[in-house]
Amino acid sequence: MATASNRRDRLIATSAAVVVVVLAASVVVTVLTAERNGRKALEDLQLAQMQQLGRVLDGALGPALTSKVGLTNPLTRQPWTLAPNDASDAAALNALQSSQPTARTGYVLVDASGVVVNGTLLQPGAIGSRVDRPGLSGVLAGNAAVLPTSDKSLTTPLPTIAIARPIRANGDGPVVGALLQESDVAADSQFTKLLAGFRRANTDEYSFLDVNGIVVASTNPTTVGHEAAPILLDPTAGFHRHGGDVTAIVDLPTIGWTAGYRQTTSEFEGNLTGPLRSALVLLTIAALIGGLLTFFALLSRLRAARREQARLAAINDAREEFISIVSHELRTPATGQLGFLQTLLDHWEDLDDNRRRETVRQAYANARRLHALSRDVLDTASVEAGELPYAFEVVDLRAAAQSAIDAIPNPDHELAIDGVDALPVRADPERIQQVLANLLDNAMKNSPSGTRIDVVLDVSGDDARVRVSDRGAGLTEDELGRVFEKFSRGRYTTVTGTGLGLYICRMIIDAHGGRIWAETRDGGGMTVTFTLARVSDAADGDGTDTDEVPLAGTATP
Amino acid sequence: MSRVLVVDNDVAVINLLVLDLDLEGHEVLATALDGDEAVRLCDDLRPEVLVIDLRLGPGLDGLEVAGQVRKPGLRIVLHTNYVNREVLQRARSLDVVVVEKGNLNALRRAVASDA
């Protein structure tokens, strides 16, 4: 029963905690979704940025391929002579050269067979040599192109790219030669310097690759002129993730290049995931704590409720048991009393005087028992309501004990009193009588007829001490501990009673500031001892009492 | 007149029954305070009537004793404060007469109802 409700309590508390955890999980999912969406937005943004960059570059270099500038001698506005070392051609090339913002772009004229005829910044011996660069034949076939990066440069020992445009006779005639603008590809090239401004973080890297995947310019100068890192050579444009890195690849269709961006994933997402992750961790911790608190709070609430329920049920059980016990216990002496009287009446003539007297005595004993029991019941109610009145005066315990013994008519036991002759205490004489009567009654009920019951009075320090011992079966340690509890009853077969007698004794002795306890008697049986504060002999004697007297008490006989 | 065994854990009740049944002309063979002794005395003394309380403290109760000792020629009277349907059913199944405590006339009739 108890375990079933415990299990139910735990189930309820666990369910509540589960609800909290589920809510927390949904928050976590929401945060993770937000993170995913945020990441996607970030990727799109980065890609868009790269596309913008690509368009700008494509837009800047593209027109250079279709430009007419330089396809005729800009100074004479005549066609290039394309004669080796022609002075007017050289002057015009120098003019083009000087119009460039950088001195690192050289202008070279080749004839229709690809042989160098003139140029600026030329390496020694270049004039007359055949240009050995992939892609030039296409240009000489009539198509302008950006030639891939090559070490076979005419203008510099560094690798260069070259914008090469065909020169046609009369502007649209057959190809008679080509104009090459060679720009070096180097860590300190103009282009590379331009790119350097793009960097915003520690690990981001912007690069331009030519058709062969050679880095033309990069924010990472060490890569310039070399083949690009594999992750930048991803053939498809778009946003990619490669382990710890992200890349954004954009094609520049006009010039055939690729713009590539790379960054470590953690840095790329740092600004996004950092706060989200913190929020997530905090939310998760809060949810777990909330769940645990909910679990334990509910559990303790439910357990307290169960305890209260059990307590009330126990009180109710005790009350019902009390009613059952009391009604039975009151009925037994009432029945006995009536029975003896009826027997007496029905058989009056059959009985001699002695037997009549004995029958009356039996009826009287039952009436006495009924009286004592009803008083116990009523006193219990009064004691618990705090309404039992006490009238203190000086009482001699020896006389009180003798009186209690004398009050038992024809006892079945041998009742012996021993110890000091006079033992004055301050007490309510009626209540002390009740205590002694209950202790004697208890002793008689717990021991066989004919056995001896000892009442011993002595002094222990400042205390007067009374011991009532029987020679019955005694009690176990456990029973001894509970003997003063309400409704505690002995196990001796013939023991009957309400279980109130010793309880009332304890309440009365407590109210007197004394102590009462039960222990096993040496040699078997039980001893109940109580102590009360002793009154010095000097204070004793006048018999009058000036103490508080809530209700008038009667003096001990 | 009947030969009677009286069993009750309350000495006062035993005293009453011993006195009254004796005056009513019956012979009270013995008395017992608990169920186990009641079974033993039934075997030893072979009474004609067993008057027994239901609640006898630890051990057998009155109807359990009745279940053990019942036999032809023995009338069993359950003398108890605790009369309810369950007790009456158990008693009927054992051919036990139930008399409520306090009704001395009914007890006398039950003990004397000798064919």
pLDDT value at position A535?
Answer: 86
pTM (two decimals): 0.46
Which chain B residues have any C-beta within 8 angstroms of a chain A C-beta?
A: 9-13, 15-16, 19-20, 23, 33-34, 56-59, 81-82, 101-102, 104
Q: Does A495 touch chain B (CB under 8 A)?
A: yes
Answer yes or no: do A339 and B59 touch at CB < 8 A. no
The first and second tokens of residue A111, run together, are 């004839």
Do the Cβ atoms of A20 and A290 come closer than 8 Å?
A: yes
Residue-wise pLDDT for A293-313, tens only, equals: 888 888 888 889 889 999 888
Q: Which residues contact A311 (CB under 8 A, 6 or more apart)?
A: none
Q: Does A341 touch chain B (CB under 8 A)?
A: no
- Can you say whether residue A541 is alpha, beta or left, with left for phi > 0 and alpha for psi between -120 and 50 degrees? left
pLDDT band of residue B18 (cuts 50, 70, 90) is very high
- Using a 10 angstrom Cβ sphere, with 0-12 exposed, 13-18 middle and 19 or more buried, the burial of residue B43 is exposed
Residues in B touching A496 (Cβ below 8 Å): 9-10
Answer yes or no: do A362 and B16 touch at CB < 8 A. yes
Residue type, A239: F
Nearest to A332 among B10, B23, B56 (CB): B10
CA B1 to CA B112: how far, in whole Å? 7
Closest approach of A332 to chain B, Cα-based (Å) = 8
- Between the alpha carbon of residue A261 and those of residues A231, A233, A254, A369, A486, the distances in Å are 10, 11, 19, 107, 89
pLDDT along chain A (557 residues), means of 10: 70 82 83 84 88 83 83 89 91 86 82 92 88 89 89 85 90 89 82 79 88 88 87 85 89 87 86 75 84 87 89 83 76 88 93 91 87 81 77 92 86 89 91 91 87 93 93 82 72 57 88 92 89 73 44 38
Q: What is the DSSP string of A233-286?
A: G-SS-EEEEETTEEEEEEEETTTTEEEEEEEEHHHHHHHHHHHHHHHHHHHHHH
Strands in chain B per DSSP E: 3-7, 27-32, 49-52, 75-80, 96-100
Backbone angles phi, psi at A225, to 5 degrees: 90, -10
Answer yes or no: do A493 and B58 touch at CB < 8 A. yes
The complex's ipTM works out to 0.88
Residue-wise pLDDT for A483-540, tens only, equals: 887 766 654 434 456 678 888 899 899 989 999 999 988 888 899 999 999 987 554 4
Answer yes or no: do B12 and A495 touch at CB < 8 A. no
Residue-wise pLDDT for A379-433, tens only, equals: 877 777 777 778 899 999 999 999 999 888 778 899 999 998 889 999 999 889 9
Answer yes or no: do A338 and B104 touch at CB < 8 A. yes
Interface of A with B in 387-446 (CB under 8 A): 412
CA B50 to CA B29: how far, in whole Å? 10
